[in-house]
Amino acid sequence: MNIGEIARRAGVSRSTVSYALSGKRVVSEETRQRIQAVIDELDYRPNAAARALKEGRTRTLGLVIPPASLRLTDMQLGFVASVVEAAARVDLDVLLSPSGGDHDRSFERIVSGRRVDGVILMEIRLEDERVTRLQQTGLPFVTIGHTAHPQGTCWVDVDYATLIARCVHHLADLGHRHIALINRSAELVAAGYGPAQRALTGFTEAVAQRGLTGVDMCCADDAPGGESCLEQLREQHPEVTAIATINEAALPGIQRALERAGVAVPRDMSIAGVAARHWAEDFRPPLTAADVPTEMGNHAVDLLLERIATPDAPPRHLLLTPPISLRSTTGPAPTR
């Protein structure tokens, strides 16, 4: 069931079948229909490898995700889903590469075996050698998140610094004077993980600007982590009345610890976060948060397609600053 078979049965040459399929040259309507009939009958579809070899492109995008051992957050998951969906809409397939390590075989296969036409990189660090590796090879790529030197690359990101600053301002407007930042895990912060670093910067600046006292804490990215982090916070800083956080995964634990301690939200404690929209909505009470649009994956695909089409165009960036959706977890600071 290759193109030769179709050609023989339709009584034409292989090239004619190819042209009938691609439309790159005129084929008489009669011939075209005859060919199509044979194709339908045999359910023929061109061999992807042969086409990729000849055309020099694979019609496949690579998506580099964190290794399976690290559990993905809802937000990251949303990115994956929207990347896959956006790619499917333009008839592209997505090849997954779980790679966090330095010199990953899977990553190398993808980038230097010409298995994909372009790569989307997730969870990048401020200094990320995968980015430099991709720059070497010349393979088009887009990152979700950006490095410390983002000028030369194409990326889409959420402006964590500004978003966390907005959370702080919102809380300050409500009269809160003592605010805590609950950041991502200590390991990530130490590894130079961009969002964690930038959230801290934004927090520190905003707190200083409003003359508040701020305390920042790292917190393991899961429910138990949030729970113990909050216990520690209430013990060491009982004066805190509001929390800003980018740690989605820790929120259920935070919430639970507050409940156990009899601290009502938002009466006794306000929470403003940065999270996936559906996640914030599903949260009880609904979370006041800057809704990170999961469509970021779509944007990443768009940018990547552009870059593949015109590799020499200056790299474009997209820094999103979604507004804070006021829901039910923030309120006026308690009067002592």
Partner DNA sequence: TCGGTTCGCGGAATCGGTTCGACAGAAGAT
Partner DNA sequence: ATCTTCTGTCGAACCGATTCCGCGAACCGA
26 class by beta-carbon count within 10 Å (0-12 exposed, 13-18 middle, 19+ buried): exposed
Residue 81 lies near its own copies (rule: CB under 8 A): yes
Give the nearest distance from C-beta 3 to its own copies in angstroms: 13
Residues in contact with DNA, counted by CB under 7 A, come to a total of 30
How many other C-beta atoms lie within 10 A of the C-beta of residue 232?
13
Task: Give the end-to-end CA distance of the chain in Å, rounded to a whole number.
Answer: 80
- What string marks each residue from 107 to 146 as x (binds its own copies by CB under 8 A) or -? -xxx-xxxx-------------------------------
Torsion sign across C-alpha atoms 135, 318, 330, 173: positive
| DSSP assignment of 103-169 | S-HHHHHHHHTT--SEEEE-S-BSS-HHHHHHHHHT--EEEES--SS-TTSEEEEE-HHHHHHHHHH
Residue 91 lies near DNA (rule: CB under 7 A): no
- What string marks each residue from 204 to 243 as x (binds its own copies by CB under 8 A) or -? ------------------xxx--x----------------
Secondary structure of residue 62 in the 3-state scheme: strand
Long-range contacts of 279-285 (CB under 8 A, 24+ apart): 279/74, 279/75, 279/248, 280/325, 280/327, 281/327, 283/251, 283/255, 283/329, 285/327, 285/328, 285/329
Among its own copies, DNA, none, partner that 259 touches (CB below 5 to 8 angstroms by kind): its own copies
The most distant pair of C-alpha atoms in the chain lies apart, rounded to whole Å, by 90
- What string marks each residue from 25 to 44 as x (binds DNA by CB under 7 A) or -? xxxx-xx------------x
Among its own copies, DNA, none, partner that 24 touches (CB below 5 to 8 angstroms by kind): DNA
Q: Report the residue from 9, 36, 51, 237 that binds DNA according to the rule CB under 7 A.
A: 51
Residue 67 lies near its own copies (rule: CB under 8 A): yes
Query: Is residue 285 reached through a cis peptide bond, with omega within 30 degrees of 0 on the bond before it?
Result: yes
Among DNA, its own copies, none, partner that 14 touches (CB below 5 to 8 angstroms by kind): DNA
Smaller CB separation from DNA, 52 or 191: 52
CA distance 52 to 62: 15
Among its own copies, DNA, none, partner that 316 touches (CB below 5 to 8 angstroms by kind): none
Among DNA, its own copies, none, partner that 300 touches (CB below 5 to 8 angstroms by kind): none
CA distance 244 to 289: 9
Among its own copies, DNA, none, partner that 3 touches (CB below 5 to 8 angstroms by kind): DNA
Residues that bind its own copies (CB under 8 A): 43, 45-50, 52-53, 58, 60, 63, 65, 67-69, 71-72, 77, 81-82, 84-85, 88, 91, 93-98, 105-106, 108-110, 112-115, 222-224, 227, 252-253, 256, 259, 278, 282-284
